Structure 1
């Protein structure tokens, strides 16, 4: 038999224990590792790297998004320690920041993948170079999009004057509404995943077919493949379980069980691992594309008969960061 939303909320509230040592341990590990790693990344990006390449702009914003996400986790640690109750408003703000920065991370990871693919596949294209210069504006747009998309659910829930002390144990009904779920699965996850797969394939294909790139020693096809595999693994392992659980909750909305909700909260916890895995992606990207190549240097490595048109230069892709 199906029950109404009130009945479901009460049932889920009873089956979700506030005190959870596993959640405390995992969130604590993410905090202990994630905060210094992302702070170190920001220091390196701002102080130690003289060349402000377009990829560095995306990585800087990604490290900032990850750091903001990690800073919300002490609230969850305090809550799951069972020391005391938190205000519903505090829990809602923490949840808002987590979701906003999670989708910000997804979009920024996608932008990094696009930027690397364009740099390798179309190094001589003036249009591509001009487009890549818009990285700061794209990052600003991502921040506005993720914050703007996350605010309406928070405002709607706040206007309900809900006095229940459910905190992080409440069913995410706003996230599984048809319109919200459809936009989340397409714009927030599906399209970025497709773009990531296409760019990864394009990157590996371009480098494997480029004789000039191999001879120049700028890039290593094995390192490219390793970087692509690691980036895809991080993306899928961190974000796929959460979005699968959103679909499961939508399908089982009338008959919510404790096992479904437990799986949802564990999937949400897994997404936070992204904050300590992204620095690995920074390192692999920096090591793989370890040289900043000026456009004049690229021209010298290409045969003269390939410089006549943009179309010919695309047949021998090289890196231009």
Structure 2
């Protein structure tokens, strides 16, 4: 995935091939990324910080899968925190002024967010699968198992980012004499990395989600109407929507762009179309930070996610367990008792 990052090059990029040169233009990207990243920064920061707070402090959990949700909110929060640097980068027409280390951090967090998000989605879907189809196995799984899985995923994600960090993210573009960030990686040396990232980072996890969903849906359709049934369906639906809207376009356009970079696709008009669609796909990826908190909401066992500012007053009606009808107040019950006593006294007299 390190072929070209963020904007995949300057606005008017020239891809030099052995036989020809492709001039790729996407002037709209400056406005597109500035607007999209600004919206994602505001909404994503508020939503994910709130999700971290609620998942860590307020919500009571009946499932250990909240460990995945906390880490998903964490990686999204880290991502949105570097967006101001990218907003400035695009406002200055893809000119990086923050130095080499800041460039390495932003690029690493970008790809870490993509693939850890997909990995956590897969873990949540697998958790639902085990809970629904193998409940007795599920109750034996402890929180330490979830923590172990999360730790392994973080280690793998950071390890595979080493080629990005060591690949020399900063370079000077000869087109407009600007300093570009994460946009000049040799295709020949990164070909294997791109293929492995596409297969193990998206194709396999997304296939697991697609295979697990029909099995989960079939099993819970046999269960009577319940809150857990609706929650499981909502969880899988949201995962499918986020993967389809945010990550599927990104990886499809990346595959086509990769084929263009290794000269499999040499048609100039089609290559220019891929280059432009790549910008739109990159913008859609960032929207996952705003949609992921919805998954945290539906997978939480508690529905107290909103702050209730309404004043609650004690009810003046008190219910007792000895009422003949459980919806009947003790006040009505006492009136009936008084009438009964009065009728009883009238009968004696």
Same fold (TM > 0.5): yes
> Which whole-Å deviations, capped at 9, do the CAs of 1:244-282 have from their partners, x for residues lacking one?
112111221234744332322221121111100011112
Q: Matched residues in 2 for 1:176 and 1:230: separation?
A: 37
Is residue 79 from structure 1 mapped to residue 89 from structure 2 by the alignment? Answer: yes
Q: Using the TM superposition, give the Cα deviation of residue 115 of structure 1 relative to its aligned residue in structure 2, in angstroms.
A: 0.9
RMSD: 3.1
Structure 1 residue 107: deviation in Å? 0.3
1:16/1:169 contact within 8 Å kept: no
Q: Are 1:247 and 2:255 matched, yes or no?
A: yes
How far off is 1:185 after superposition? 1.7
1:101 aligns with one of 107, 113, 117: 113
Distance 1:58 1:186, change over 3 A: same
Structure 2: runs of 5+ lacking an equivalent: 1-14, 304-349
Equivalence map 1:1-321=2 (5 Å): 3-4=16-17, 11-12=23-24, 15-17=25-27, 20-51=30-61, 53-82=63-92, 85-87=96-98, 89=100, 90-125=102-137, 129-130=140-141, 133-157=144-168, 162-164=171-173, 165-168=178-181, 170=183, 173=186, 177-210=190-223, 214=224, 217-221=226-230, 224-253=232-261, 254=263, 255=266, 257-286=271-300
Per mean C-alpha deviation after superposition, the further-off stretch among 244-253 and 139-148 is: 244-253
Aligned residues: 277
Structure 1 Cα separation of the partners of residues 259 and 115 of structure 2: 23
SS of match in other structure, 1:167? strand
SS at match of 1:219: helix
- In 1, the alpha carbon distance for the partners of 2:86 and 2:28 equals 10
Q: Assess if the C-alpha contact under 8 Å between 2:26 and 2:276 holds in 1.
A: yes
Secondary structure in structure 2 of the residue aligned to 1:86: coil
**Corresponding residue for 2:328?**
none
Name which one, 1 or 2, has greater alpha-carbon Rg. Answer: 2
Measured in 2, the distance between the counterparts of 1:189 and 1:176 equals 21
Deviations 1:209-251 (A, max 9, x none): 23xxx26x34235x54344223201111110111111211122
Distance 2:76 2:161 in 1: 16
1:121 deviation in Å?
A: 1.5
Alpha-carbon distance in 2 for matches of 1:19, 1:225: 37
How far, CA to CA, are the matches of 2:61 and 2:300 in structure 1?
12
Q: Is the 8 Å Cα contact of residues 96 and 154 (structure 1) preserved in structure 2? A: yes
Q: CA deviation at 1:119?
A: 1.3
Distance 1:227 1:67 in 2: 21
In structure 2, the CA distance between the partners of 1:153 and 1:182, relative to structure 1 (3 Å rule), is same
Q: Spell out structure 1 runs of 4+ moving beyond 6 A.
A: none
* Rounded Cα–Cα distance in structure 1 between residues aligned with 2:62 and 2:147: 11
Comparing 178-187 with 255-264, greater Cα deviation is found at: 255-264
Residues 50-108 of structure 1 show CA distances to partners (whole Å, capped at 9, x for unaligned) of 43732110100000011111112111111122286424623343112110121111101
Say if 1:18 and 1:110 are closer, same or farther in 2 by CA, change over 3 A.
same
Give the 3 Å change call, closer, same or farther, for CA 168–162 of structure 1 in structure 2: closer
Q: Which has the higher helix share?
A: 1
